[in-house]
A and B are shown apart, each in its own frame.
Chain A
Amino acid sequence: MRDDAGLRPFSLLSPAVLVITIGLLLPMTMMFRFSLNRYSANELMTQALTLSNYARFFGDAFYLGILAKTIAVALASTVVALVLGVPAAYFLARLSTPRLKSALILMTVVPLLMGNSVRTAGWMVLLGDRGLCNAILIFLGIREEPLRILYTGKAVLIALVAAILPYMIISLQSVLEGIERVYEEAALTLGAHPATMFRRVLLPMLMPGIFSGSLLCFILAMNAYATPLLIGGPTFQMMAPLVYQQLTKVFDWPFASSMAFVLMAVTLASVVLSSVFIQNRYGRL
């Protein structure tokens, strides 16, 4: 094929690049600039070049506490998702009936793309005082009174794990599909206990999937909005709802911008750190 150097790719790409620039890159740059401005009660925002918004965030125990809580919740839900995701992904990858396998893949991917509002409604049905879980507990005689699950940290953790688990399963499954079964069989016929085989043979080969899956889950959990807001209730504070309130209720644009950037920086830092780690340890992927 002829290649009229440079001109064709340029014209093919320019609409997409233009849309991304106007719709994301410019707004992000502008937001970073705003985060260095100053808030004033009567003018809302005054031009400045100051780090005071970041200083305010990191100097205030209230905001630091919310950041720490967000990171802790995201880490905890990622770990639980990993522990539950490995067996599920292994089961999925080693299924030998093609029909069952594609059905199970659909059952993983469809919930993943279902959207958080629907999932949140589901958890409210399940975990509420008159919800299905409490109805079962009372029916079985385990509890007399309904157990308070909704509007607690535990409920947030359960709902977050459920939301990120499909991502974990798909990430691990794609790596497991590439690991041939002969490695497992070799270890087992040589007398290794299944647990030893898993730890010494499968786990090292699965590491890239564990990292990419955990990373994706951590990012999603860090930035969760609907789950902490509706499942956690008004007293359960995480970063994403806080940014939203700051922007739409307090109208403090500079501070909201700096908080959005802190949230994004933590997210990006984890991306960079883990990709450096993976490349050092396992070579370029």
Chain B
Amino acid sequence: MAARMRALTGRTAFLASVGLAYLLVLAPLIAVFWVSFFRNKIIAFPPQGYTLAWFANAWSLDDFRNGFVLSVEIGIVATIGSLLIGVPAALALARHDFRGREAISAALMSPLIVPGIVAGTAVYMFYIEIETWTDVQLAATLPGLCLAHVVLALPWTVRLVTASLVGVNRLVEEAAMTLGAGPALTLWRVTLPMIRPAIVAGGLFSFVVSFVDLEKSLFLVGPGRTTLPIAIINYLEWSIDPTIAAVATIQILIISAALLLTDRFVKLSRAF
């Protein structure tokens, strides 16, 4: 009896800690989502009613509208850029053995290791130095932000596509070659279609990591040219109200949609 009681307490404690873990992870997102529909202007619980007005209000504020547009623009460039340079790099890493392969692979993965705030500091000073030497302005410009975000997204694309290439059966490619297809045709008609899920997932991941980035972009944005996450924290320094909750909710919806879509191509648990 006592043993059974102990087992029951153990099981309850186990389930309680699982519940607590997921409560911590999900509560902030659920809270901000909920508050964005409150009718009261100042956040108070329980709400006096519900409205969609704060979404319209958020869109009418320049900082948020421009921030949203800029984040989408950068996200798209980061996606295209990381695919254009990341897929060829993954092909080389997965299909060729050459000297320095490990070192190059480590270099391409380095944006995952260097903390955002450190990388941001370095890139900011680098851009200013380039400006002093060549008069080309990169800090606080779209090209400057885009370059930084392609770097941010690249390791995810390279990793997902390399992993997928390793799993591809090379006999299929060899069959195409024996049947007379040249290397370019084989790549285009056989190899790339086989790794399509990884390419799509790499692109979506690139968009997500670029869209949510805060620390690295912090240094590279300028007056009137702010990404959405930075517009959010700038606003949060002054106040927290349903309008900012509405903006955060929009980010939650975009990122969730992108990740649910990714999950259809490559299981998210295998992306890490």
Give residues in A with beta carbon < 8 Å to B: 1-3, 5-6, 8-10, 12-13, 15-17, 19-28, 30-31, 34, 83-85, 87-88, 91, 102, 104-111, 113-126, 128, 130-132, 135-136, 158-159, 161-162, 165-166, 169-171, 173-174, 194-195, 219, 222-223, 225-226, 229-230, 240, 243-244, 247-248, 253, 256-257, 260-261, 263-264, 267-268, 271
Instruction: List 30 A–B pairs whose Cβ atoms lie within 8 Å, in order of A's numbering.
Output: A10-B98, A15-B84, A15-B89, A27-B123, A27-B126, A30-B122, A30-B126, A84-B24, A88-B18, A102-B267, A106-B260, A110-B259, A117-B251, A118-B212, A118-B248, A121-B28, A121-B232, A121-B240, A121-B248, A125-B28, A126-B31, A128-B240, A130-B45, A170-B269, A173-B269, A226-B233, A240-B215, A244-B218, A257-B125, A260-B122
Q: Does B54 contact A (CB under 8 A)?
A: no
Give complex CA distance A130, B84 in Å: 49
Q: Does B124 contact A (CB under 8 A)?
A: yes
Contact: A12 with B35, CB < 8 Å? no
For chain B, what secondary structure do more than half of its interface residues adopt (helix, strand, loop), or is it mixed?
helix
Q: Does B199 contact A (CB under 8 A)?
A: no
- Give residues 208-250 of B contacting A (CB, 8 Å): 208-209, 211-215, 218-219, 228-230, 232-233, 236-237, 240, 244-245, 248
Contact: A88 with B248, CB < 8 Å? no
Q: Which of A12, A102, A104, A124 contacts B88 (CB under 8 A)?
A: A12
Contact: A13 with B104, CB < 8 Å? yes
Contact: A17 with B126, CB < 8 Å? no
Contact: B154 with A223, CB < 8 Å? no
Supposing A3-B96, A132-B45 touch, asked if A30 and B125 sit within 8 A by C-beta, the answer is yes
Contact: A117 with B121, CB < 8 Å? no
Contact: B10 with A247, CB < 8 Å? no
Contact: B268 with A109, CB < 8 Å? yes
Give complex CA distance A170, B21 in Å: 13
Give complex CA distance A31, B259 in Å: 35
Of all chain A residues, the one with the shortest Cβ separation from B209 is A113
Chain A residues within 8 Å of B248, by CB: 117-118, 121-122
Contact: A135 with B45, CB < 8 Å? yes
If A20-B110, A119-B29, A122-B29 are given as contacts, then 10 extra A-B residue pairs at C-beta distance below 8 Å, sorted by A number, are A24-B151, A30-B122, A113-B209, A115-B211, A159-B28, A169-B21, A219-B113, A223-B115, A223-B118, A263-B115
Give complex CA distance A107, B22 in Å: 8
Contact: A260 with B214, CB < 8 Å? no
Contact: B25 with A12, CB < 8 Å? no
Candidate in B24, B84, B96, B236 with the most chain A CB atoms within 10 angstroms:
B24
Contact: A84 with B21, CB < 8 Å? yes
Q: Does B76 contact A (CB under 8 A)?
A: no
Chain B residues within 8 Å of A27, by CB: 119, 122-123, 125-126
Give complex CA distance A284, B115 in Å: 25
Contact: A116 with B147, CB < 8 Å? no
- A-B pairs under 8 A by CB, number: 293
Contact: B24 with A24, CB < 8 Å? no
Contact: B107 with A19, CB < 8 Å? no
Chain B residues within 8 Å of A119, by CB: 28-29
Of all chain B residues, the one with the shortest Cβ separation from A171 is B272
Give complex CA distance A117, B245 in Å: 11
Of all chain B residues, the one with the shortest Cβ separation from A264 is B118
**What's the nearest-Cβ distance from chain A to residue B66, in Å?**
16
Q: Does B129 contact A (CB under 8 A)?
A: yes
**What's the nearest-Cβ distance from chain B to residue A136, in Å?**
8
Give complex CA distance A5, B99 in Å: 11
Contact: B259 with A125, CB < 8 Å? no
Q: Does B73 contact A (CB under 8 A)?
A: no
Q: Which of A20, A223, A244, A267 contacts B151 (CB under 8 A)?
A: A20
Q: Which of B25, B29, B31, B117 contacts A165 (CB under 8 A)?
A: B25
Chain B residues within 8 Å of A20, by CB: 107-108, 110-111, 151, 154
Contact: A114 with B29, CB < 8 Å? yes
